Structure 1
Amino acid sequence: MSRKLTILLATLGSAALLGGAFFFQAIGYPPCAMCIWQRWPHGVAIAIGLIAMLLPGRVLPLLGALAATVTAAIGVFHTGVERDWWEGPSSCTGTGQGLGSLSGGDLLATDGPRLVMCDVVSWELIGLSMASWNALLSAGLVLLWLSALRRS
């Protein structure tokens, strides 16, 4: 497989994962804060991929691999928070510390934005949450980027 094709596949992979995240949001699964964090590196990887298709060299595939590694790592961390393996940020977990400024009326309001907790799994497929799927698939994208780096 050529360098350009490998970069294209990695770029399309990030685009598909980002598109999937927006699709789930559109059908009623609003993202939590950590879900949003996982989106940014995919956007960066897409931009890197578009540039790397035009420019030779090893730096851009290395940066693409780094971006994919970052989103995979956030996905692993998020999975751990969802599974209670470790504690997540108090601002978006069930510890309640991030909710202290909200009144009972705010928490019960149905016309405001929906509060999405990072430690609650809202969707699963074969026992894996969206964060878990992002971690696994992004790890595959890291391998594609590293393959492109090797071909550079």
Structure 2
Amino acid sequence: MALAAHAERGADYRYGAVALFMTTGAILAALGFQYIGGYVPCMLCLIERYAYYAAVPVLFVALALTSGSYRGLAAILFFLVALTFLANAGLGVYHAGAEWKFWPGPETCGGGESLSTTAGGLLNDIQGIKVMRCDEASFRFLGISFAGWNVVSSLLIMALALRAGLAASAGRR
């Protein structure tokens, strides 16, 4: 009986830790494709990264709170992360649908890189930047674009954060 209770208390930690690991890995992969692979992100790609940037510190804090008497607050944080990634999955579906021409993408979507403010740097930027449109997939792996993989990743992280939140809320009773 005591072993089962101990295992349940650790469940929120394990699921939350995997969510943190996946979130960090996904954002590092995106940055690697951008800066090492040369894939310039579009505006929607950059917006889709916000969920990952926000989730890393929130998941870290939630994990720190699971071992103490603040498990209820940890559960709330895990649920907020799950909600964030549900919204991010929706944005990814919109983006992937625009790439597959199921619906039009945003009119304002051009390149995601920022330009220099000096005249010489601006000229170099204009000559060197490849503008990515939101309705064109720059790369596909197994037939799925970066936006499609964002949907898969977001749904997995959402499920992990939701499970961690349920375990944390069950442990506070």
Which category describes the TM-score, using the shorter chain as reference length?
0.7 to 0.9
Partner of 1:111: 127
Q: Tell me which residue corresponds to 1:106.
A: none
Q: CA deviation at 1:141?
A: 1.0
In the aligned structure 2, how far is the partner of 1:23 from the partner of 1:70? Answer: 24
**Identity rate, percent:** 30
Distance in 1 separating the partners of 2:32 and 2:88: 18
**Structure 1 residue 81 and structure 2 residue 98: aligned?**
yes
- Normalized per residue, the structure richer in helix is 2
**For the residues of structure 2 that align with 1:149 and 1:13, how far apart are their CA atoms?**
16
Runs of 4+ in 1 over 4 A off after TM superposition: none
- Quote the residue 2:142 is aligned against: 126
Deviation for aligned residue 1:127: 0.7
State the match for 2:17 in structure 1: 8
User: Which whole-Å CA distance do the structure 2 matches of 1:36 and 1:24 have between them?
Assistant: 13
Q: Deviations over 1:25-66 (max 9, x none)?
A: 011101000000110001111111011011222211111101
In 2, Cα distance between equivalents of 1:35 and 1:11: 20
1:151 aligns to what SS in structure 2?
helix
Aligned to 2:159: 143
TM-score, length of structure 2 as denominator length: 0.75
Which runs of 5 or more residues in structure 1 are unaligned?
Answer: 94-108
The answer to whether the 8 A contact 1:10-1:144 is kept is yes
- Which amino acid is the alignment partner of residue 34 of structure 2? Q
Q: 1:23: which partner in 2?
A: 32
Report if aligned partners of 1:32, 1:116 keep a CA contact under 8 Å in 2.
Answer: yes
TM-score of the aligned structures, taking structure 1 as reference length:
0.84
Q: Does 1:91 align with 2:101?
A: no
- Name whichever of 79-88 and 111-120 sits farther off: 111-120
Contact 1:7 1:148 in 2 (8 A): yes
The separation in 1 between residues aligned to 2:128 and 2:153, in whole angstroms, is 33
1:112 Cα offset (Å):
4.5
RMSD of aligned residue pairs (Cα, Å) = 1.5
Letter in 1 for 2:101: D
How many residue pairs get aligned? The number is: 137
